[in-house]
Amino acid sequence: MKIAIIGAGPAGGFSAYLLAKAGMDVSIYEEHATIGEPVACTGVITGDVMARQLQLPKELILNKISKARIIAPNKEFIEVRLKNDIIIDRAGLDRHIAAMAEENGAKIFTNHRFENLEYCNSGKNERERIIVAAKNKTNNEMKKVETDFLIGADGPVSSVAKASGLFGNRKFYSGIQVTIPVKNDNAIDFYPSENGIAWVVPENEGVARVGIAANKEANAHFRRFLTAVAGSDYEKKIIGWQAGPIPIYDPRLKSATKDGKILLVGDAATMVKAPTLGGINQSLIGAQCAADSLINGSNYEKLWKKKMGMDLYISLLMRKAMEKFSNTDYNSLVGTFRKEKNRKLLEKYDRDEPRKFALKLLLNEPGILLLAKKAWF
């Protein structure tokens, strides 16, 4: 069975690895010359998922973080212990996964940008195949390849989703981040506010990844936050930029065509946790489900929704509520979590599984529903 995959990020690379390992004929088309670049990611990840699925080389783990603070607009904060959060070399991660795919027989075509697709009839067994058009950016030649299945793992503004009618009316946050010298105590600082979310994530004791994600006025929020963290001359200190759109999970979108021949995975399918806007682990879970469905003939959408649909949905509800919070609401929320029994919940439950945590929180704090209600209605 022939499978074309567009995009060599975590979703595309991991799908390719699993499918090639199962003996499929897999080709990845990646538009950039170097896999993993340019980077548009902070690289914070809960390490156990990675450790289970990938044999992550030590040199890709840039830092291990054992505590985080959530800081309210009034500067009150909650401090929580983290069990196994790591900061990864994100470009290195993409290359590592792509190498795993290649070792198992996947072919990788860099500098090839997916342009379009059409259905054709192979004539051999009346089975419809897909013709994928990818432009070779080194010589501008259009390559046309026939495939049985197509995986769109081409990120938030997925051209595969657009070409196959699966793009829908998705919405985005703008993520803007820089790497910059900032003295720190090796804790991740999150700053939720009515402007969006901002963060300081230490790479080492003197350098951090500092950024914001917002659905409006992102540049202004970014400039204010950077000035507060690194001073008004922050522009002179910037070591690197990493920015990009972050899709908001949309449960109404379809992630596969009706015939099951075109699948979307990762950001292309909006598989992003809405409150923290993290999507690496979700891309890997999506890739696992895409591979399982093609290997075993099972329904892709049912598979991934069973694994993470509820968590993504609860994350979305939390985000929707938070979008309407005022700074005063954020102060109350952080105040609620400063109570020891609630703070412990944050420590105990994995950020990727909010359904477990949300229920316990409601039992502890039924009053929190009033805050949510105020935001939703």
**Contact criterion met (CB below 8 Å) for 237 and 80:** no
* Among 47, 92, 196, 266, contact with ligand FAD (rule: CB under 6 A): 266
Letter for the amino acid at 258?
K
- Closest CB 90 distance from ligand FAD, rounded Å: 7
Please state the closest distance from residue 360 (CB atom) to ligand FAD, in A.
24
Cα 185 from Cα 66, distance rounded (Å): 10
For ligand FAD, which is the closer residue by CB, 44 or 371?
44
Q: Does 249 engage in binding with ligand FAD (CB under 6 A)?
A: no
Using rule CB under 6 A, residue 63 touches ligand FAD: no
CA 179 – CA 302 distance, rounded (Å): 39
267 is an interface residue for ligand FAD by CB under 6 A: yes
Measured from the CB atom, the residue of 271 and 322 that comes closer to ligand FAD is 271
- Least distance in Å: CB of 36 to ligand FAD? 7
- C-alpha distances (whole Å) from 125 to each of 4, 117, 323 are 20, 20, 52
What does the DSSP assignment read for 46-101? EHHHHHHHS---GGGEEEEEEEEEEE-TTS-EEEEEEEEEEEE-HHHHHHHHHHHH
Interface with ligand FAD (CB under 6 A), residue total: 38
Closer residue to ligand FAD, CB minimum distance, 214 or 246: 246
* Strand 61-71 versus strand 187-193 pairing type: parallel
Residues 16, 20, 41, 54: which binds ligand FAD (CB under 6 A)? 41
To ligand FAD, the closest distance from the beta carbon of 89 in angstroms equals 12
Nearest-approach distance from CB 374 to ligand FAD, in angstroms: 29
Contact between 79 and 67 (Cβ < 8 Å): yes
Q: Is 250 exposed, middle or buried (0-12, 13-18, 19+ CB in 10 A)?
A: middle
Binding mask 282-311 for ligand FAD (x = CB under 6 A): -x----------------------------
Under rule CB under 6 A, residue 91 binds ligand FAD:
no
9 lies in the binding site for ligand FAD (CB under 6 A):
yes
User: What's the rounded Cα separation, in Å, for the pair 337 and 288?
Assistant: 34
Looking at 4, 5, 26, 43, which residue binds ligand FAD (CB under 6 A)?
Answer: 43
207-246 binders of ligand FAD (CB under 6 A):
211, 242-244, 246
Tokens of 11: 């979703």
Task: State which residue, 36 or 73, has the beta carbon closest to ligand FAD.
Answer: 36
Does 354 bind ligand FAD (CB under 6 A)? Our answer is no
d(CA 37, CA 84): 26
Q: Say which residues have a Cβ less than 8 Å from residue 203's Cβ, sequence separation at least 6.
A: 62, 63, 87, 179, 209
| Sign of torsion over alpha carbons 284, 287, 293, 299 | positive
Is residue 10 part of the contact set for ligand FAD (CB under 6 A)?
yes
Please pick, from the candidates 26, 44, 321, 333, the single residue that binds ligand FAD as defined by CB under 6 A. 44
Q: Interface with ligand FAD by CB under 6 A: which range of 24-32, 302-310, 319-327, 366-374?
A: 24-32
Distance in Å from the first CA to the final CA of the chain: 50
Q: At what angle do helices 368-376 and 327-338 cross, to 10 degrees?
A: 160
Q: What's the min distance (Å) between Cβ of 263 and ligand FAD?
A: 12
Say which residue the tokens 């990675």 belong to.
50
Q: Using the rule CB under 6 A, which residue among 85, 89, 154, 311 binds ligand FAD?
A: 154
Distance of CA 87 to the CA centre of its chain: 14
**Which of 3, 16, 20, 40 lies at the binding interface for ligand FAD (CB under 6 A)?**
40
Residues in 159-198 at the binding interface with ligand FAD, rule: CB under 6 A: 159, 175, 177
Tell me which residues touch ligand FAD (CB under 6 A). Answer: 6-12, 29-32, 40-45, 113-114, 153-155, 159, 175, 177, 211, 242-244, 246, 266-268, 272, 278-280, 283
